[in-house]
Structure 1
């Protein structure tokens, strides 16, 4: 079952299509005859992991309800260069109007899934969970988060409304007000519903005991070295979930995972990826 709401996808696509052709596709309307039919294949120019296929298909059916989109492979599946990933048949003008939006999204989402799969593979066997962050493209979070899942990763909180996560700026304000972190955590727990979780970020080993003793669910060890992470995990001693974050790369994530942390958050999964090279090869015939 998809975790991506159809209404959210339609909202994204409606905005994107309006941006790309606010008053229609002028070129197609003056060059191409009405009623012409097109057949187009989504072809991979390089290998990767697929994501965004339902969004790709929906782009075409939004403009042409009679369009037929046949998906040749599914989200989360690896593919090779030259593979045909989907076939679209429909009104030529509608296919060409949808083409760029559909490609932009499936290329970016597959880039995210492919990058995530590499990070997940790098920590295999350690028990550490690779998660994303809120460093997503504004307006596309629901799709980019799905792409992380397609790559085998997991999601952090979706929005500021989902959980308490006190970071360095929050702690700086508390310190300026003379409020201890422990007291703030206990006060927050008293105000929150039982379904809400509390996570606090620390950047020094000497901050850990107060935070954990106050009853956090997760403690984030930010920009800790591998040796500091080992010490931090020992100090937490199973009393909270331990998350490592900050500047983690594909080259360093294995060493981080081997320290015993439970979760590793990687902003680069969504903000630092390259879109994959996928193309839409057209076969147009008169209708």
Structure 2
């Protein structure tokens, strides 16, 4: 009985050793590590989008400047020039002969009026190769061209003064789209000629010699584009552009309803032609047309 117990013990020991060898390859006394799952949060940065090799057109095209979209022919410019330098009983070129012209503002003018005149005058100087305007108007002093800002009631009183037209000089009344008086041109009369002359620029001995060639009375009650238009248009009148055009609605010289605030491209072309070295004061229509024909032939 005792022997049987000993053999059974030995058998159990052998079985336990064999079982341990079959179930584990880990050396005795070493624990097998428990695998761990590690979670890593990755923040991805989107790759920058690459511009396509071929660009696409924008949905809205940028506005083009007049020099990009309009090119006038010599014939168009010459015809426009003739239209705007002759008119209002003036049949000869009245080009301001001095190298520097000063304009004077007085009355109820504003800082905006000074600013827009300064901008225009500097633009004019870029297109003129002869006469130059002062970079800005002078204030409350006597310039060669006077711009006087008065309320409409005062302009109405001036318009009723018929003695000025018959005795003192020429008066032109301009009205806005509503029929109100927008501006009045009063040109000093020349007493140097045998008979009174209304030529505002070429009568140098008395009109320009005395310093004043004309006054632009502007309705100070006007505002906005309308006010700007009549200021610039008046200044151009006394620079010799006494006519108008029915051809170009965007021209500041357009004869129809017009609130244009600055000369159009073809206007600047005509201004450059007027204040170049070819056109001279005193030329009549035939002389101008012959001169322009020669210019076209030689170009």
TM-score, normalised with respect to structure 2: 0.20
| Structure with higher strand content | 1
**Larger Rg: 1 or 2?**
2
